[in-house]
Amino acid sequence: MKTISTDKCYGGTQGVYVSRSDACDCDMTFAVFVPPQAAERKLPVLWYLSGLTCTHANVMEKGEYRRLAAELGLVIVCPDTSPRGDHVPDEPDNWQFGKGAGFYVDAIEPPFSTNYRMYSYIVEELPKLVAAEFPADMTRQGIFGHSMGGHGAITIALKNPERFRSCSAFAPICHPSVSGWSRPAFEKYLGSNKAVWRSYDACALIEDGRRFPEFFVDQGGSDAFLADGLRPAELKAVCAAAGVKLTLRMQEGYGHSYFFISTFMDDHLRWHAERLAGEVEDCSSAGAFRSGPGGKENIL
Amino acid sequence: MKTISTDKCYGGTQGVYVSRSDACDCDMTFAVFVPPQAAERKLPVLWYLSGLTCTHANVMEKGEYRRLAAELGLVIVCPDTSPRGDHVPDEPDNWQFGKGAGFYVDAIEPPFSTNYRMYSYIVEELPKLVAAEFPADMTRQGIFGHSMGGHGAITIALKNPERFRSCSAFAPICHPSVSGWSRPAFEKYLGSNKAVWRSYDACALIEDGRRFPEFFVDQGGSDAFLADGLRPAELKAVCAAAGVKLTLRMQEGYGHSYFFISTFMDDHLRWHAERLAGEVEDCSSAGAFRSGPGGKENIL
């Protein structure tokens, strides 16, 4: 692992690092925020998965997570969203596929299967590096993300419920195997076998019996991608049918950008901090879960 | 004035606008955050001037001012740092001069004197537009900024003490007429007359009798530009000699970037909110001024 940069921020350290990824057959860049409490003990780890076109930098610059993460004592890990490099196959004019659009799957179709293995990178490879290099208590992990990264967070939590204590999302792609936004990418990465598609689809995973204790989702009411790309109503219906607890808040007037994400970042950090408290440490300083401005539950 | 974008954020509206500037003989882009309280009344206005190479966007994306500005009820105006456009003379390879480096002066040397009139733009032209187009109480204005923008904020406050009730800065260029960072730009914008240089130099203005009630400055202790470019010790000496109140905090371990600025943004917003309270509105909800992590006063 090589350090690209470290900056003191809110008493902690925001770092950017690069490491060779065997899963993706390329160098992968990621950001880690280590709060000041890490000088004394290992801390819970919260994974943030970004959306289409993003690198590690978008949420690092615009997500506004450090103030409260420093207060709550959360290590925040922000990976890239795809393999990178000149040798990585891409469709440069397609923002919904290729570089910046790994969809957190392990591709099985050539030529993408060599590099586009973001599922293995996020679930297997990067956690080992984080455990080895940072003051991270890997018994206490949560995961969240935005849009394509919200899809990543929910599907990874459903497939690894023993790993994560908490999962939330901002405007997640809830039903990617049917959404016009993601279905073409699934076809190119995963081929024509719909059973494989379902293994990377939040709604389908729940329909097929996967479970996670509870989800917390914020969705902007003025998000242009709500109806086709994101489909939170379908996640709500599937969760209701399966008895999976879902807190879904429609935030009226909010869009799909980091102006939306940053507004509700505090709520998500507190949600995770409460659930990542436990035997090792009392996180009661996280305080009660507080609703953001205009938050309404389950109105979809 | 034309609206480029508006986004709901923390219950308010973050907008980006463009207007024709007569002062700069070009179109100028700027950002304005209007907090939710503006639905009911006009609100105090806080001007943020950015540093070298920046546009309106840097602080809008990385400054983390909206959460507390929405709570305190502050309109935040973030202008660009120079004229823009193909017809504007520039030195493309020089980040300390030309586009992105207006230094908040009115240039008098050709060919720069046609466009590089940022002082008039910030002090005269843009306030008229803000007063006309936004719910701004122009009797309650504060000003702050970073680096070159900290220089802009302090010099503009010293030259217009009747206009501003409060002034603060992050890592300001305190003595630009002698600093290696800014002296070459002063020569090209202002010519060889040192009396003109002194009229845009915080230390010189105070030496020459200009006054402002008090300044609040945060400076990163690990800022690579501290010794030559910024020179806060010289501002401290001049303020002490003149009896001007200065709260100067050295923040150990912090650099010159927005990781530093965002960490102490809350402290600056509270400082201004306290001083922008007054006859029109009771801003007591702003709360007491709170020191940031590791803040020490006057240790330079």
Is A295 within a domain?
A: no
Concatenated DSSP letters for A69-90?
HHHHT-EEEEE-SS--STTS--
Chain A residue with the nearest C-alpha to that of B293? A11
Put simply, whether B188 touches A (Cβ < 8 Å) is: no
As a whole number of Å, the CA-based R_g of chain A is: 18
Average pLDDT, chain B: 93
Is B291 within a domain?
A: no
Is A294 within a domain?
A: no
Residue A6, domain extent:
2-286
pLDDT confidence band for B278 (50 / 70 / 90)? low
Q: Which two tokens stand for residue A254?
A: 């909010």
Given A21, A50, A147, A177, the catalytic residue: A147
Query: What is the pLDDT averaged over residues B291-300?
Result: 35
Q: Which two tokens stand for residue B152?
A: 């802009």
| A203-236 residue pLDDT tens | 999 999 999 999 999 999 999 999 899 999 999 9
More confident residue, B295 or A13: A13
Is B292 within a domain?
A: no
Q: Give the gap in angstroms from C-alpha B294 to the nearest C-alpha of chain A.
A: 8
Per the CB < 8 A criterion, the answer to whether B140 and B280 are in contact is: yes
Q: Which residue among A11, A222, A293 sits closest to B293, beta carbon to beta carbon? A: A11
Is B94 within a domain?
A: yes
- Number of domains within chain A: 1
**Whether the predicted interface score ipTM is above 0.85:** yes
Number of helices (H), then strands (E), in chain A:
10, 9
Instruction: Check CB contact under 8 Å for B254 and A8.
Output: yes
Is A144 within a domain?
A: yes
**Percentage of chain A with pLDDT > 70?**
92
Q: Which residue among A14, A64, A257 sits closest to B64, beta carbon to beta carbon? A: A64
| B125-134 residue pLDDT tens | 999 999 999 9
**Percentage of chain B with pLDDT > 90?**
91
Is B196 within a domain?
A: yes
Instruction: State which amino acid sits at residue A261.
Output: I
Query: What is the pLDDT averaged over residues A269-276?
Result: 98
pLDDT confidence band for A181 (50 / 70 / 90)? confident
pLDDT confidence band for A278 (50 / 70 / 90)? low
- Asked if pLDDT for residue B297 goes beyond 90, the answer is no
Q: Which residue among B8, B222, B259 sits closest to A253, beta carbon to beta carbon? A: B8
Q: Which position has the token pair 């090209």?
A: B188
Active site residues of B: 147, 223, 256
**3-state SS assignment for residue B274:** helix
Question: Which residues does chain A have within 8 Å of residue B263's beta carbon, measured at their own beta carbons?
Answer: 8-11, 66-67
- Asked if pLDDT for residue B139 goes beyond 70, the answer is yes
| A96-143 residue pLDDT tens | 999 999 999 999 999 999 999 999 999 999 999 999 999 999 999 999
Residue A39: what are its φ and ψ, rounded to 5°? Answer: -65, -20
Q: Give the whole-angstrom CA distance, residue A152 versus residue A145.
A: 7
Which one of B4, B8, B264 makes the best mutation probe of the A interface by having the most chain A beta carbons within 10 Å?
A: B8
Q: Which two tokens stand for residue A124?
A: 């297997």
- Asked if pLDDT for residue A279 goes beyond 80, the answer is no
Per the CB < 8 A criterion, the answer to whether B229 and B181 are in contact is: yes
Instruction: Check CB contact under 8 Å for B293 and A10.
Output: yes
- Greatest alpha-carbon pair distance for chain A in Å reads 51
- Asked if pLDDT for residue B287 goes beyond 70, the answer is no
Do you find a cis peptide bond into A111, omega within 30 degrees of 0? yes
Whichever domain contains B36, its CATH number is 3.40.50.1820
- Asked if pLDDT for residue B288 goes beyond 60, the answer is no
Per the CB < 8 A criterion, the answer to whether B202 and B158 are in contact is: yes
Is A296 within a domain?
A: no
Could you confirm whether A208 is annotated as catalytic? no
Query: What is the pLDDT averaged over residues A46-59?
Result: 98
Instruction: Check CB contact under 8 Å for B293 and A262.
Output: no
Average pLDDT, chain A: 93
pLDDT at A273: 98
Q: Which residues contact A41 (CB under 8 A, 6 or more apart)?
A: A135, A137, A281
Instruction: Check CB contact under 8 Å for A64 and B67.
Output: yes
**3-state SS assignment for residue B200:** coil
Put simply, whether B8 touches A (Cβ < 8 Å) is: yes
| B194-238 residue pLDDT tens | 999 999 999 999 999 999 999 999 999 999 999 899 999 999 999
- Backbone torsion region of residue A116, taken as left when φ is above 0, otherwise alpha when ψ lies between -120 and 50, otherwise beta: beta
Q: Which two tokens stand for residue A178?
A: 């049917």
C-alpha to C-alpha distances, B10 to A30, A40, A187, nearest whole angstrom:
28, 34, 38
Put simply, whether B178 touches A (Cβ < 8 Å) is: no
Question: Which residues does chain B have within 8 Å of residue A8's beta carbon, measured at their own beta carbons?
Answer: 222, 253-255, 259-260, 263
pLDDT at A296: 33
| A72-91 residue pLDDT tens | 999 999 999 999 999 999 99
| B154-188 residue pLDDT tens | 999 999 999 999 999 999 999 999 998 899 999 99
